Structure 1
Protein backbone atom coordinates (compact mmCIF):
# COMPACT_ATOMS: atom_id res chain seq x y z
CA UNK A 1 0.00 0.00 0.00
CA UNK A 2 1.31 3.45 -0.87
CA UNK A 3 2.40 6.08 1.66
CA UNK A 4 -0.46 8.30 0.60
CA UNK A 5 -2.94 5.47 0.80
CA UNK A 6 -1.79 4.23 4.17
CA UNK A 7 -1.54 7.66 5.78
CA UNK A 8 -4.55 9.44 4.43
CA UNK A 9 -6.62 6.91 2.50
CA UNK A 10 -5.32 8.17 -0.85
CA UNK A 11 -3.91 6.65 -3.95
CA UNK A 12 -0.79 7.72 -4.27
CA UNK A 13 10.33 19.03 -7.18
CA UNK A 14 8.26 20.05 -9.99
CA UNK A 15 8.64 23.42 -11.61
CA UNK A 16 5.40 25.18 -10.77
CA UNK A 17 3.74 28.08 -12.46
CA UNK A 18 5.17 31.24 -10.90
CA UNK A 19 1.69 31.98 -9.52
CA UNK A 20 1.32 28.56 -7.88
CA UNK A 21 2.23 28.09 -4.23
CA UNK A 22 3.65 24.90 -2.76
CA UNK A 23 3.56 23.93 0.90
CA UNK A 24 6.07 21.70 2.68
CA UNK A 25 4.98 19.84 5.79
CA UNK A 26 6.72 17.34 8.02
CA UNK A 27 5.33 14.61 10.17
CA UNK A 28 5.96 11.01 10.96
CA UNK A 29 4.68 7.61 9.93
CA UNK A 30 5.22 4.86 12.49
CA UNK A 31 8.02 6.90 14.08
CA UNK A 32 9.81 7.63 10.80
CA UNK A 33 10.13 11.21 9.54
CA UNK A 34 7.93 12.15 6.62
CA UNK A 35 8.35 15.08 4.24
CA UNK A 36 5.33 16.18 2.23
CA UNK A 37 5.19 18.78 -0.53
CA UNK A 38 1.85 19.74 -2.03
CA UNK A 39 0.18 22.48 -3.99
CA UNK A 40 -1.57 24.97 -1.76
CA UNK A 41 -4.32 25.17 -4.39
CA UNK A 42 -5.17 23.60 -7.71
CA UNK A 43 -2.83 24.75 -10.49
CA UNK A 44 -3.51 28.23 -11.81
CA UNK A 45 -5.96 28.24 -14.71
CA UNK A 46 -6.65 24.50 -14.59
CA UNK A 47 -10.20 23.16 -14.87
CA UNK A 48 -9.93 19.98 -12.78
CA UNK A 49 -12.76 18.36 -14.75
CA UNK A 50 -10.40 18.24 -17.73
CA UNK A 51 -7.78 16.27 -15.73
CA UNK A 52 -9.72 13.29 -14.34
CA UNK A 53 -6.93 10.69 -14.24
CA UNK A 54 -4.85 10.22 -11.08
CA UNK A 55 -1.36 8.99 -11.85
CA UNK A 56 0.85 7.89 -8.96
CA UNK A 57 4.58 7.37 -9.44
CA UNK A 58 6.22 5.32 -6.66
CA UNK A 59 9.93 4.86 -6.01
CA UNK A 60 10.94 2.31 -3.39
CA UNK A 61 14.41 2.85 -1.97
CA UNK A 62 16.61 1.43 0.75
CA UNK A 63 16.68 4.01 3.56
CA UNK A 64 20.13 5.45 4.17
CA UNK A 65 19.70 5.18 7.93
CA UNK A 66 17.08 4.56 10.58
CA UNK A 67 15.44 7.88 9.70
CA UNK A 68 14.00 6.28 6.58
CA UNK A 69 15.19 8.91 4.10
CA UNK A 70 16.99 8.22 0.81
CA UNK A 71 20.74 8.59 0.41
CA UNK A 72 22.07 11.82 -1.06
CA UNK A 73 22.83 10.07 -4.36
CA UNK A 74 19.36 8.54 -4.58
CA UNK A 75 17.74 11.85 -3.66
CA UNK A 76 19.65 13.52 -6.52
CA UNK A 77 18.19 10.93 -8.93
CA UNK A 78 14.71 11.64 -7.54
CA UNK A 79 15.21 15.37 -8.12
CA UNK A 80 16.38 14.59 -11.68
CA UNK A 81 13.23 12.54 -12.27
CA UNK A 82 11.06 15.47 -11.15
CA UNK A 83 12.98 17.87 -13.38
CA UNK A 84 12.57 15.57 -16.37
CA UNK A 85 8.83 15.35 -15.74
CA UNK A 86 8.43 19.14 -15.78
CA UNK A 87 7.56 18.76 -19.47
CA UNK A 88 4.21 17.23 -18.44
CA UNK A 89 3.26 20.52 -16.82
CA UNK A 90 4.93 22.63 -19.48
CA UNK A 91 2.69 20.97 -22.07
CA UNK A 92 -0.31 21.15 -19.69
CA UNK A 93 -0.73 17.38 -20.03
CA UNK A 94 -0.56 16.59 -16.30
CA UNK A 95 0.01 18.45 -13.05
CA UNK A 96 1.83 17.26 -9.97
CA UNK A 97 -0.12 17.88 -6.78
CA UNK A 98 1.64 15.97 -3.98
CA UNK A 99 5.05 14.40 -3.23
CA UNK A 100 5.69 12.35 -0.09
CA UNK A 101 8.98 10.88 1.12
CA UNK A 102 8.98 8.49 4.06
CA UNK A 103 10.43 5.21 5.24
CA UNK A 104 11.78 3.76 2.00
CA UNK A 105 9.18 5.15 -0.40
CA UNK A 106 8.75 8.35 -2.38
CA UNK A 107 5.49 9.00 -4.19
CA UNK A 108 4.36 11.68 -6.56
CA UNK A 109 0.70 12.29 -7.35
CA UNK A 110 -0.24 13.75 -10.74
CA UNK A 111 -3.53 14.55 -12.44
CA UNK A 112 -3.66 13.94 -16.18
CA UNK A 113 -6.02 14.93 -18.97
CA UNK A 114 -5.24 11.83 -21.05
CA UNK A 115 -3.40 8.78 -19.76
CA UNK A 116 -2.00 7.66 -23.13
CA UNK A 117 -0.68 11.14 -23.89
CA UNK A 118 0.81 11.40 -20.39
CA UNK A 119 2.54 8.01 -20.55
CA UNK A 120 3.92 8.83 -24.02
CA UNK A 121 5.30 12.17 -22.78
CA UNK A 122 6.66 10.51 -19.63
CA UNK A 123 8.47 7.88 -21.72
CA UNK A 124 9.81 10.59 -24.02
CA UNK A 125 11.01 12.70 -21.07
CA UNK A 126 12.83 9.72 -19.56
CA UNK A 127 14.36 8.38 -22.78
CA UNK A 128 18.13 8.41 -22.81
CA UNK A 129 18.30 8.21 -19.00
CA UNK A 130 19.40 5.29 -16.89
CA UNK A 131 16.25 3.43 -15.87
CA UNK A 132 14.48 4.81 -12.81
CA UNK A 133 13.15 2.23 -10.30
CA UNK A 134 9.57 3.52 -10.44
CA UNK A 135 6.13 2.01 -10.58
CA UNK A 136 3.16 3.82 -12.07
CA UNK A 137 -0.48 3.35 -11.17
CA UNK A 138 -3.53 4.96 -12.76
CA UNK A 139 -6.93 5.63 -11.21
CA UNK A 140 -9.95 7.73 -12.07
CA UNK A 141 -10.50 10.73 -9.80
CA UNK A 142 -12.47 13.33 -11.80
CA UNK A 143 -13.14 15.54 -8.75
CA UNK A 144 -9.53 15.43 -7.51
CA UNK A 145 -10.88 13.99 -4.27
CA UNK A 146 -7.55 12.34 -3.34
CA UNK A 147 -5.71 15.65 -3.61
CA UNK A 148 -8.45 17.64 -1.86
CA UNK A 149 -8.72 15.08 0.95
CA UNK A 150 -4.97 15.29 1.40
CA UNK A 151 -4.77 19.09 1.20
CA UNK A 152 -7.67 19.57 3.58
CA UNK A 153 -6.33 16.93 5.98
CA UNK A 154 -2.94 18.56 6.57
CA UNK A 155 -2.86 20.68 9.70
Structure 2
Protein backbone atom coordinates (compact mmCIF):
# COMPACT_ATOMS: atom_id res chain seq x y z
CA UNK A 1 0.00 0.00 0.00
CA UNK A 2 1.30 3.38 -0.97
CA UNK A 3 -0.05 5.15 2.15
CA UNK A 4 -0.46 3.93 5.71
CA UNK A 5 -3.77 3.91 7.58
CA UNK A 6 -2.89 6.59 10.11
CA UNK A 7 -5.23 9.57 10.07
CA UNK A 8 -4.81 13.13 11.32
CA UNK A 9 -7.93 14.76 12.72
CA UNK A 10 -8.74 18.46 12.84
CA UNK A 11 -11.92 19.89 14.29
CA UNK A 12 -13.42 23.31 14.75
CA UNK A 13 -16.32 25.49 13.64
CA UNK A 14 -17.38 26.53 10.17
CA UNK A 15 -20.17 29.08 9.87
CA UNK A 16 -21.12 28.44 13.50
CA UNK A 17 -21.42 24.66 13.07
CA UNK A 18 -18.91 21.99 14.10
CA UNK A 19 -16.66 20.47 11.47
CA UNK A 20 -14.40 17.43 11.62
CA UNK A 21 -11.76 16.78 8.98
CA UNK A 22 -9.63 13.65 8.86
CA UNK A 23 -6.88 13.05 6.34
CA UNK A 24 -4.18 10.47 5.69
CA UNK A 25 -1.00 11.24 7.59
CA UNK A 26 1.23 10.45 4.63
CA UNK A 27 -1.10 11.64 1.85
CA UNK A 28 1.78 13.39 0.08
CA UNK A 29 3.27 10.02 -0.91
CA UNK A 30 0.20 9.32 -3.02
CA UNK A 31 0.13 12.84 -4.45
CA UNK A 32 3.83 12.86 -5.29
CA UNK A 33 3.56 9.47 -7.02
CA UNK A 34 1.51 11.22 -9.75
CA UNK A 35 -0.51 7.99 -10.10
CA UNK A 36 -3.85 9.45 -8.98
CA UNK A 37 -5.02 12.24 -11.33
CA UNK A 38 -8.78 11.86 -10.79
CA UNK A 39 -10.54 13.30 -7.74
CA UNK A 40 -13.74 11.53 -6.73
CA UNK A 41 -15.91 13.18 -4.11
CA UNK A 42 -18.61 11.19 -2.38
CA UNK A 43 -21.17 13.03 -0.25
CA UNK A 44 -23.44 11.27 2.26
CA UNK A 45 -26.39 13.46 3.20
CA UNK A 46 -27.44 12.33 6.67
CA UNK A 47 -31.11 11.81 7.47
CA UNK A 48 -30.53 12.60 11.11
CA UNK A 49 -28.74 15.31 13.03
CA UNK A 50 -27.83 15.25 16.71
CA UNK A 51 -28.47 18.87 17.70
CA UNK A 52 -26.12 18.59 20.69
CA UNK A 53 -23.12 17.68 18.53
CA UNK A 54 -24.06 19.03 15.10
CA UNK A 55 -23.21 15.66 13.54
CA UNK A 56 -25.35 12.77 12.33
CA UNK A 57 -27.02 10.65 15.01
CA UNK A 58 -24.94 7.87 16.59
CA UNK A 59 -26.83 5.23 14.59
CA UNK A 60 -26.23 6.96 11.29
CA UNK A 61 -22.66 7.77 12.27
CA UNK A 62 -22.09 4.03 12.72
CA UNK A 63 -23.42 3.45 9.18
CA UNK A 64 -21.14 6.19 7.85
CA UNK A 65 -18.11 4.66 9.56
CA UNK A 66 -19.00 1.22 8.15
CA UNK A 67 -19.27 2.76 4.68
CA UNK A 68 -15.90 4.47 5.19
CA UNK A 69 -14.32 1.13 6.06
CA UNK A 70 -15.98 -0.50 3.04
CA UNK A 71 -14.56 2.26 0.81
CA UNK A 72 -11.04 1.50 2.00
CA UNK A 73 -11.58 -2.27 1.83
CA UNK A 74 -12.88 -2.19 -1.76
CA UNK A 75 -10.95 0.71 -3.29
CA UNK A 76 -7.46 0.53 -1.86
CA UNK A 77 -6.13 -3.05 -2.06
CA UNK A 78 -5.49 -2.82 -5.82
CA UNK A 79 -3.81 0.58 -5.25
CA UNK A 80 -6.08 2.11 -7.90
CA UNK A 81 -7.43 4.60 -5.36
CA UNK A 82 -6.61 6.33 -2.08
CA UNK A 83 -9.25 7.57 0.35
CA UNK A 84 -7.40 10.77 1.22
CA UNK A 85 -9.80 12.85 3.34
CA UNK A 86 -13.12 12.68 5.16
CA UNK A 87 -15.06 15.82 6.15
CA UNK A 88 -18.13 15.90 8.41
CA UNK A 89 -20.12 19.15 8.60
CA UNK A 90 -23.77 20.17 8.80
CA UNK A 91 -25.19 16.63 8.33
CA UNK A 92 -22.98 15.92 5.31
CA UNK A 93 -20.12 13.47 5.33
CA UNK A 94 -17.76 13.88 2.38
CA UNK A 95 -14.90 11.72 1.18
CA UNK A 96 -12.16 12.99 -1.10
CA UNK A 97 -10.66 10.09 -2.99
CA UNK A 98 -8.01 10.09 -5.68
CA UNK A 99 -7.84 7.34 -8.26
CA UNK A 100 -5.85 6.18 -11.23
CA UNK A 101 -8.66 4.70 -13.34
CA UNK A 102 -12.25 5.86 -12.84
CA UNK A 103 -13.79 2.73 -14.40
CA UNK A 104 -11.86 0.47 -12.02
CA UNK A 105 -13.03 2.64 -9.13
CA UNK A 106 -16.66 2.45 -10.28
CA UNK A 107 -16.39 -1.35 -10.36
CA UNK A 108 -14.96 -1.35 -6.83
CA UNK A 109 -17.74 0.95 -5.58
CA UNK A 110 -20.30 -1.45 -7.07
CA UNK A 111 -18.82 -4.22 -4.90
CA UNK A 112 -19.69 -2.46 -1.63
CA UNK A 113 -22.50 -4.49 -0.07
CA UNK A 114 -25.91 -2.83 -0.05
CA UNK A 115 -27.70 -5.51 1.98
CA UNK A 116 -29.32 -2.79 4.12
CA UNK A 117 -30.38 -0.66 1.15
CA UNK A 118 -28.66 1.82 -1.08
CA UNK A 119 -26.45 4.43 0.51
CA UNK A 120 -27.64 8.07 0.47
CA UNK A 121 -24.64 9.24 -1.50
CA UNK A 122 -23.80 11.44 -4.45
CA UNK A 123 -20.63 10.84 -6.43
CA UNK A 124 -18.79 13.33 -8.65
CA UNK A 125 -15.42 13.01 -10.38
CA UNK A 126 -13.06 15.58 -11.87
CA UNK A 127 -9.56 15.64 -13.26
CA UNK A 128 -7.31 16.99 -10.50
CA UNK A 129 -3.77 15.79 -11.09
CA UNK A 130 -2.42 18.57 -8.87
CA UNK A 131 -4.68 17.53 -5.93
CA UNK A 132 -6.14 21.03 -5.69
CA UNK A 133 -9.38 19.84 -4.06
CA UNK A 134 -7.46 18.17 -1.23
CA UNK A 135 -4.82 20.90 -0.97
CA UNK A 136 -7.31 23.75 -0.53
CA UNK A 137 -8.78 22.10 2.57
CA UNK A 138 -5.42 20.89 3.88
CA UNK A 139 -3.87 24.37 3.61
CA UNK A 140 -6.66 25.89 5.72
CA UNK A 141 -6.06 23.25 8.40
CA UNK A 142 -2.29 23.78 8.42
CA UNK A 143 -2.70 27.56 8.60
CA UNK A 144 -5.05 27.17 11.55
CA UNK A 145 -8.37 28.11 10.06
Q: Distance in 1 between matches of 2:113 and 2:32?
A: 27
Other-structure match for 1:82: 68
Q: Distance in 1 between matches of 2:113 and 2:70?
A: 7
Can you list the C-alpha shifts for 1:40-70, whole angstroms capped at 9, x where unaligned?
A: 3326466542210000000111312154210
Give the total of aligned pairs.
139
> How far apart are 1:137 and its partner, in Å?
0.5
Query: In the superposition, relative to structure 1, how do residues 38 and 69 fare at CA in structure 2: closer, same or farther (>3 Å)?
Result: same
Other-structure match for 1:146: 133
Other-structure match for 1:7: none
Q: Distance in 1 between matches of 2:93 and 2:136?
A: 19
TM-score by length of 1: 0.80
Structure 2: 5+ residue stretches without partners: none
Query: In the superposition, relative to structure 1, how do residues 92 and 132 fare at CA in structure 2: closer, same or farther (>3 Å)?
Result: same
Other-structure match for 1:113: 100
Establish whether residue 63 from structure 1 lines up as the match of residue 49 from structure 2.
yes
> How far apart are 1:122 and its partner, in Å?
0.7
Q: Distance in 2 between matches of 1:146 and 1:45?
A: 14
> How far apart are 1:21 and its partner, in Å?
3.6
TM-score by length of 2: 0.85
Other-structure match for 1:5: none
Is the CA contact (8 Å cut-off) linking 2:3 and 2:26 kept in structure 1?
A: no
Establish whether residue 41 from structure 1 lines up as the match of residue 26 from structure 2.
yes
